[in-house]
């Protein structure tokens, strides 16, 4: 995994740098601690040694005085010349002298890393004379110091490398495994097959990301399934519409072809009547299709500042349907109150809803039958009733009236070209306007369809 390789290299390099920095800091702290220990511990020991006769012996014979100690040596120097009268004494370290003159008590100088100089400490013994300054020197154990330094460096690097490796396996590798699961899950988000949840239960950012990926996948799949279902429904719907259009168009085509050849006026009239029926059906179908698309997209005919006068609407619908009814050998009558009856609905929607009921009653009624459209209103609201004396609907199929594409067996036999869309559109418009649509048998025969709902005081002003 790329992130694992990148993190592993950075962790190792960062650990080595931190280890080296820690080594330098530790070495500086060790040197300072050792210097403080020499200044506060070994310097008083030197003074006690000088006070117990060694200073007097030095002053008596400075040319031969030096004091060997365990792994150290004391030599005396004259402050005036900074030289020792003992020719075997090493030179005085001037750096230590300057530090002493600057007020530092018992200055100490340690061996530099890898250097050859002697570690020394300078002590003031007296105010003047050949033994005024005493320098304590330690032999330059160069090889031992270097070996110690290299051992420390090697040990530190080994410890740092081990810590980096341990950190990589304990911290980074589990983290990269979790990220790898997220990567695989993210690559398959939304796919119908192949998505495997990271299932990270940790309560941290990666766990939250895993949960969000699962939710995103669920939303995408739900949307995709909904779109696929809508696509299938649309395909079925278009297939049904194409089938429904095919019959009236073919009938209209045949009728027009025959009309061009027919010389008998009576037969020509019958052909034109049949063609008119097909045209009326096609007009109703296209209007209902447009309303169906609007309703499917969420259009609500009750929204907006719309108001419609139901009495005028009923008269227009009945006037249009009267010629269709005469061609069927049927009579249609309408009754409305003398006063205006207003309802809240888009005018186009309510007019098509009533048209569907009236044309349905005419199309499936018996020749010579009657259709009545009655509008009543009171303070409680309005009721619009459409009745016919046709064959009616079997009681078992009555509850399904208004379902999209549903048609009774009797209706299919009497008119194969119907789509069952008109009553479904009327039902949906009533539902969105808050009206009640009811189907009942009409005694002694036929069907009674009623729409009831609330009225408004007057038509709202146009906005």
Per the CB < 8 A criterion, the answer to whether 74 and 67 are in contact is yes
Q: Print the domain residue range for 328.
A: 301-453
Q: Does 290 map to a domain?
A: no
Read off the tokens for 283.
Answer: 């007009």
Residues 334-357 have a mean pLDDT of 91
> Alpha carbon of 380 to those of 8, 303, 306, 340, 438: distances in Å?
80, 21, 20, 15, 17
Q: Does 429 map to a domain?
A: yes
| Least confident piece of the model among 98-112, 275-289, 350-364 | 275-289
When divided into structural domains, the chain yields a total of 2
| Least confident piece of the model among 40-54, 55-69, 193-207, 433-447 | 193-207
Residues 96-112 have a mean pLDDT of 83
Distance of alpha carbon 437 from alpha carbon 416, whole angstroms: 25
Say what the pLDDT of residue 412 is. 43
| Nearest C-alpha neighbor of 58 from the set 72, 35, 77 | 77
Q: Among 133, 154, 175, where does a domain finish? A: 154
Distance of alpha carbon 89 from alpha carbon 75, whole angstroms: 6
> Alpha carbon of 400 to those of 396, 438, 440: distances in Å?
9, 11, 12
178 or 348, which is more confident?
A: 348
- Predicted confidence (pLDDT) per residue in 300-343, tens digit: 787 877 789 999 999 999 988 888 888 888 999 999 999 999 99
Residues 353-382 have a mean pLDDT of 90
Q: For 30-42, give one letter per residue: b (16+ CB within 10 A) or e.
A: eeeeebeebbeeb
Question: Quick one: 53 exposed, middle or buried, by C-beta within 10 A (0-12, 13-18, 19+)?
Answer: exposed
**Cβ atoms within 10 Å, residue 433:** 22
Question: Quick one: 211 exposed, middle or buried, by C-beta within 10 A (0-12, 13-18, 19+)?
Answer: middle
Q: Among 154, 189, 210, where does a domain finish? A: 154
Distance of alpha carbon 401 from alpha carbon 285, whole angstroms: 18
Residues 131-156 have a mean pLDDT of 71
Q: Does 200 map to a domain?
A: no
* Cβ-based neighbours of 254, under 8 Å, separated by 6 or more: none
Read off the tokens for 424.
Answer: 């479904």
The domain that contains 411 carries what CATH number? 3.30.565.10
Grade residue 251 by pLDDT with cuts at 50, 70 and 90: low
- Predicted confidence (pLDDT) per residue in 188-245, tens digit: 777 777 777 777 777 777 778 888 888 888 888 888 888 888 787 777 666 666 656 6
Highest mean pLDDT among 43-47, 290-294, 320-324, 328-332 belongs to 328-332
Residues 40-51 have a mean pLDDT of 82
Read off the tokens for 285.
Answer: 């179908």
Distance of alpha carbon 442 from alpha carbon 392, whole angstroms: 8
Q: Does 443 map to a domain?
A: yes
Q: Among 154, 175, 192, where does a domain finish? A: 154
Q: Does 178 map to a domain?
A: no
Per the CB < 8 A criterion, the answer to whether 86 and 76 are in contact is yes
Q: Does 384 map to a domain?
A: yes
Residues 148-167 have a mean pLDDT of 69
Q: pTM (2 decimals)?
A: 0.46
Distance of alpha carbon 68 from alpha carbon 73, whole angstroms: 4
Q: Does 39 map to a domain?
A: yes
Grade residue 145 by pLDDT with cuts at 50, 70 and 90: low
Read off the tokens for 208.
Answer: 């939250």
Distance of alpha carbon 129 from alpha carbon 287, whole angstroms: 128
Backbone angles phi, psi at 263, to 5 degrees: -105, -25
Q: Does 458 map to a domain?
A: no
Say what the pLDDT of residue 374 is. 95
Read off the tokens for 84.
Answer: 């020792």
């Amino acid at each position: 995994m790329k992130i694992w390789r990148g993190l592993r290299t950075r962790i190792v390099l960062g650990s080595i740098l931190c280890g080296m920095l820690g080594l330098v800091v530790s070495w500086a702290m060790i040197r300072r601690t050792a210097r403080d220990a020499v200044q506060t511990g070994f310097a008083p020991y030197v003074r006690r040694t000088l006070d117990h006769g060694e200073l007097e012996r030095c002053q008596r014979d400075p040319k031969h005085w030096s004091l060997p100690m365990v792994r150290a040596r004391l030599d005396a120097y004259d402050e005036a010349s900074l030289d020792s009268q003992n020719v075997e004494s090493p030179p005085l370290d001037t750096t230590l002298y300057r530090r002493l003159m600057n007020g530092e008590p018992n200055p100490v100088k340690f061996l530099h890393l890898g250097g050859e100089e002697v570690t020394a400490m300078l002590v003031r013994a007296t105010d003047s004379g050949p033994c005024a300054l005493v320098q304590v020197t330690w032999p330059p154990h160069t090889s031992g110091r270097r070996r110690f330094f290299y051992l420390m460096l090697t040990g530190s690097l080994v410890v740092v490398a081990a810590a980096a490796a341990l950190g990589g396996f304990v911290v980074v590798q589990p983290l990269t495994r979790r990220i790898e699961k997220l990567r695989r899950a993210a690559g398959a988000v939304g796919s119908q097959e192949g998505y495997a949840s990271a299932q990270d239960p940790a309560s941290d950012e990666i766990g939250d990301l895993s949960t969000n990926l699962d939710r995103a996948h669920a939303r995408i799949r739900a949307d995709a399934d909904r779109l696929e279902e809508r696509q299938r429904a649309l395909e079925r719907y278009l297939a049904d519409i194409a089938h429904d259009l095919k019959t009236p168009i073919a009938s209209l085509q045949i009728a027009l072809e025959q009309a061009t050849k027919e010389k008998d006026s009576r037969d020509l009239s019958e052909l034109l009547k049949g063609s008119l029926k097909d045209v009326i059906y096609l007009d109703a179908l296209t209007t209902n299709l447009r309303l169906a698309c609007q309703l499917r997209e969420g259009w609500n005919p009750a929204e907006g500042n719309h108001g419609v006068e139901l009495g005028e609407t009923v008269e227009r619908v009945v006037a249009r349907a009267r010629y269709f009814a005469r061609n069927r050998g049927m009579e249609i009558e309408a009754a409305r109150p003398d006063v205006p009856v207003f309802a809240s609905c888009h005018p186009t929607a309510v007019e098509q809803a009533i048209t569907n009921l009236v044309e349905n009653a005419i199309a499936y009624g018996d020749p010579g039958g009657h259709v009545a459209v009655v509008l009543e209103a009171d303070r409680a609201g309005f009721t619009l009733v459409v009745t016919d004396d046709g064959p009616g609907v079997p009681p078992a199929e009555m509850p399904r009236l208004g379902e999209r594409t549903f048609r009774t067996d009797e209706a299919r036999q009497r008119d194969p070209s119907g789509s069952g869309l008109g009553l479904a559109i009327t039902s949906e418009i009533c539902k969105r306007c808050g009206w009640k649509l009811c189907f009942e048998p009409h005694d002694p025969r036929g069907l009674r369809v009623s729409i009831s709902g609330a009225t408004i005081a007057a038509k709202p002003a146009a906005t």
